[in-house]
């Protein structure tokens, strides 16, 4: 076998060892807790509770930003890589709040599957429905974990009906709870029939106490709960709610498991199922319509930019999903958009806020390229045969505000901070002719993005800013001719999106946009 063939074979083997997935859900469903629980079961952290620094434990995992720890919510995506047995896990935690849905969408372009958490007491919530739909559109296989089963909640069968009726995914439970929500005794593995009794460890910071029990022992110990669980299993069997690999990989069905991440109940089962059923990296589509095989020469794309993760060095990190080939630190790659060479000397493995130098990576891995100021979200990097992956779309903003500072001595820091936030995609930055460069306009999907932007400008750049909200809710792309036409219209303003010079026409509402469009049929307006 030739050296190239050997290398290609090695890449394929390494790709087969990878599982790259996102944890997604509605806010407060337990994403960061689940992220941490999975890391705990893989023995890469010693105790749970580290996400928010509970007790005397140091925060080490996904919610590393001070604002996240203060609010108790995730406002930026985070990447963690660790090994579990012979498998390399690339786990991406995502913001749950709808205002950060654009960040979540970008993360979903970089994974091969997803774990959706449902709160047992709340079921399918609005953001959950949106995320399921995004996964369906991208044909991302989704596993569902019914979380917080240690607290009062809905009936298990009712939750299965809700999943099927409201989102059209067929639920195929792999584990089934013994005991109603709030009275959790353990789970039955539907494929083996084995019952595992589960008990929270003292304090809940360590792995749960588990014990396999025979049917006879379980029946004697749990009585009515055991009888009810088995009756429900019979109903599931009658409806043929059994796991089907083809339907799962086609995003037509969702395997379901039950547990409680905060108590580490059912997490081991989820991790094992992920290793067994989640797909490894595979060939990815390119802009030409052809797929790039994983054993091709190196390629990857930037799905996230993040600055100031290291307060000491104030660096900027580009998160790159490796799509094909073997990455080696220091290799010279090509930036597909410009054709220019890019040096990868400062490459790191990410674990929340923690980082270590990495020498090699394979398809499915996420690498952090430090001080990659020449890169932007959606950029493709490659070595060898040229390739370009599809651009990542921007979400249409619905909130607009002029941002300014009264501290003239801080203006350089102000401009640097605005440029950085724009590059990260925290907000979109618009340039207004009538306001000038000293008062850029921030455009956001949700108002909480403004909070993050102003907080980071103050804490990371030492600049206090003022926001003046504008009365617009709709943005549509236009052209130079459209800008001239719209100068004659009231309650309409055309601004330039800084990152790509796109002209955006802003309207107070869709009715106003339709009225203007009706008056000027030649006008270009694309939402």
Mean pLDDT, consecutive 10-residue stretches, the chain (527 aa), reads 59 96 84 84 59 42 46 55 90 68 82 94 84 83 96 97 92 98 97 94 77 95 97 95 96 96 93 95 96 97 79 74 96 96 87 76 94 89 96 85 92 91 88 89 89 89 94 96 95 94 96 96 92
Tokens 């060892």 belong to 17
Cα dihedral 84/85/90/92 (nearest 10): -20
pLDDT at 201: 79
Listing DSSP states for 324-377 in one string gives ES-EETT-EEEETTT--EEE--SEEEEETTEEEE-SEE-TT-EEEEET-TT--T
Class in CATH terms, 399-519: alpha beta
pLDDT at 232: 97
State the Cα–Cα distance between residues 510 and 119, nearest whole angstrom: 35
How far out from the chain centre does Cα 230 lie? 36
Q: Which of 371, 196, 354 is nearest to 272 (CA)?
A: 196
Structure tokens at 326: 């073997």
Q: Which fold is adopted by the domain 284-382?
A: Rossmann fold (3.40.50)
**Cα separation values, 142 from 116, 279, 494, 495, Å:** 7, 11, 41, 39
Q: Which of 72, 69, 42 is nearest to 58 (CA)?
A: 69
Strands 360-361 and 327-328: antiparallel
Domain ranges of the chain: 18-29+96-277, 284-382, 399-519
Q: Rounded to the nearest 5 degrees, what angle is found at the Cα of 523, between the Cα atoms of 521 and 526?
A: 110
Listing DSSP states for 182-198 in one string gives TS--EEEETTT--EEEE
Cβ neighbors of 169 (< 8 A, separation 6 or more) are 132, 136, 142, 163, 251, 252, 253, 254
State the Cα–Cα distance between residues 471 and 11, nearest whole angstrom: 53
pLDDT at 107: 87
pLDDT at 70: 47
Q: Which of 159, 122, 182, 140 is nearest to 257 (CA)?
A: 159
Q: Kind and range of the H or E element at 144?
A: strand 142-147
Binding residues for GTP: 93-97
pLDDT at 114: 94
Tokens 């108002």 belong to 447
Provide the β-strand partners of residue 350: 355
Q: Which fold is adopted by the domain 18-29+96-277?
A: Rossmann fold (3.40.50)
Q: Express the helix, strand and coil content of the chain in percent, nearest 5 each.
A: 30, 30, 40
State the Cα–Cα distance between residues 36 and 352, nearest whole angstrom: 10
pLDDT at 266: 95
User: Cβ-count burial of 219 within 10 angstroms (0-12 exposed, 13-18 middle, 19+ buried)?
Assistant: middle
Domains 18-29+96-277 and 399-519 share a fold: no
**Cα separation values, 143 from 23, 29, 36, 428, 437, Å:** 10, 15, 18, 32, 47
For residue 479, the SS3 value is coil
State the Cα–Cα distance between residues 500 and 356, nearest whole angstrom: 33
Tokens 């090695």 belong to 10
For residue 407, the SS3 value is coil
Binding residues: 93-97
123 DSSP 8-state letter: B
State the Cα–Cα distance between residues 471 and 492, nearest whole angstrom: 10
State the Cα–Cα distance between residues 8 and 295, nearest whole angstrom: 5
């Amino acid at each position: 076998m030739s050296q190239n063939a050997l290398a290609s074979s090695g890449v394929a083997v390494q790709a087969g060892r990878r599982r790259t997935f996102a944890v997604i859900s509605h806010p407060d469903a337990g994403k960061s807790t689940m992220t941490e629980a999975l890391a705990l079961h893989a023995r890469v952290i010693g105790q749970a509770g580290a996400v928010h620094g509970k007790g005397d434990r140091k925060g080490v995992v996904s919610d590393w930003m001070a604002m996240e720890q203060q609010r108790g919510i995730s406002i930026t995506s985070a990447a963690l890589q660790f090994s579990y047995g012979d498998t390399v896990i690339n786990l991406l935690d995502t913001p749950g709040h709808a205002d950060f849905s654009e960040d979540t969408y970008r993360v979903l372009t970089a994974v091969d599957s997803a774990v959706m958490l449902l709160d047992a007491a709340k079921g399918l919530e609005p953001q959950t429905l949106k995320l399921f739909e995004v996964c369906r559109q991208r044909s991302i296989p989704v596993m569902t974990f019914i979380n917080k089963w240690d607290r009062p909640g809905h009936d298990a069968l009712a939750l299965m009906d809700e999943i099927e009726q409201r989102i059209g995914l067929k639920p195929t439970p792999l584990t089934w709870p013994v005991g109603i929500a709030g009275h959790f005794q353990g789970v039955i593995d539907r494929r083996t029939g084995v019952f595992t009794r589960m008990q929270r460890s003292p304090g809940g910071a360590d792995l749960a106490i588990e014990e396999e029990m025979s049917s006879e022992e379980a029946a004697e110990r749990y009585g009515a709960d055991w009888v009810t669980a088995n009756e429900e299993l019979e109903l599931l069997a009658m409806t043929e709610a059994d796991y089907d690999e083809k339907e799962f990989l086609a995003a037509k069905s969702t395997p379901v498991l039950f547990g409680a991440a905060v108590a580490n109940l059912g997490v081991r089962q989820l991790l094992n199922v992920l290793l067994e059923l989640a797909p490894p990296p595979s060939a990815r589509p390119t802009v030409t319509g052809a797929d790039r095989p994983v054993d091709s020469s190196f390629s990857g794309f930037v799905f996230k930019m993040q600055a100031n993760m290291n307060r000491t060095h104030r660096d900027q990190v580009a998160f790159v999903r490796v799509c094909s080939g073997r990455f080696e630190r220091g290799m010279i790659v090509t930036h597909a958009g410009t054709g220019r060479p890019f040096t990868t000397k400062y490459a790191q493995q990410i674990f929340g806020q923690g980082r270590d130098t990495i020498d090699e990576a394979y398809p499915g891995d996420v690498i952090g390229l430090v001080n990659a100021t020449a890169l932007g979200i959606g950029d493709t990097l490659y070595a060898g045969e040229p390739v370009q992956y599809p651009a990542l779309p921007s979400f249409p903003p619905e909130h607009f505000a002029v941002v300014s500072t009264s501290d003239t001595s801080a203006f350089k820091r102000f401009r640097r901070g605005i440029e950085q936030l724009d590059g990260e995609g925290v907000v979109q930055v618009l340039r207004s002719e009538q306001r000038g460069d000293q008062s850029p306009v921030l455009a956001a999907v949700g108002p909480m993005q403004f909070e993050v932007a102003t907080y980071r400008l103050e804490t990371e750049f030492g600049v206090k800013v003022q926001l003046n909200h504008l009365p617009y809710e709709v943005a549509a792309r236009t052209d130079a001719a459209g800008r001239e036409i719209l100068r004659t219209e009231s309650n309409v303003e055309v601004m330039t999106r800084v990152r790509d010079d796109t002209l955006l026409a802003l309207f107070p509402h869709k009715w106003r946009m339709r009225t203007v469009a009706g008056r000027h049929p030649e006008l270009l307006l694309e939402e």
